[in-house]
Structure 1
Amino acid sequence: MSYFESLLIRFLIVCHPQLVDDSLFIFERSDEAFSIYRELLERGVKEYAAYDLAIAVLFDEL
């Protein structure tokens, strides 16, 4: 389980328990967040800024 996946699941347990069992949603959202994070780091964006943007993607519209 990835860091972003774990973070999303913990958030869903508290705020959106109806989504906790939606493994496709969790996988896709956490994979997208990790991809953004990795891509930004490869482009030279500072780690904290890449993290902030990845978190924004992870929790978008939640």
Structure 2
Amino acid sequence: MIESDLAENLRRASSSFRADRVSFAGARARHRDVSETEYRHLRQEQITMEIIEQSIADGSHPA
């Protein structure tokens, strides 16, 4: 039970974090204030969070 609660909390946190970072990246890109390096960094964070979420969903994450 604790493991499933941890997995759910991690999923929610990662989803929220990803949404915040994507929103930030999108807002910055729209204002042409974002550097290519910063954009790539934010995109990599988004991909990492998607991988974590997928591993939680398929049960391979150690949470």
TM-score (norm 2): 0.44
Q: Which has the larger radius of gyration?
A: 2
TM-score (norm 1): 0.44
Q: Which has the higher contact order (CA 8 A, sep 6+)?
A: 2
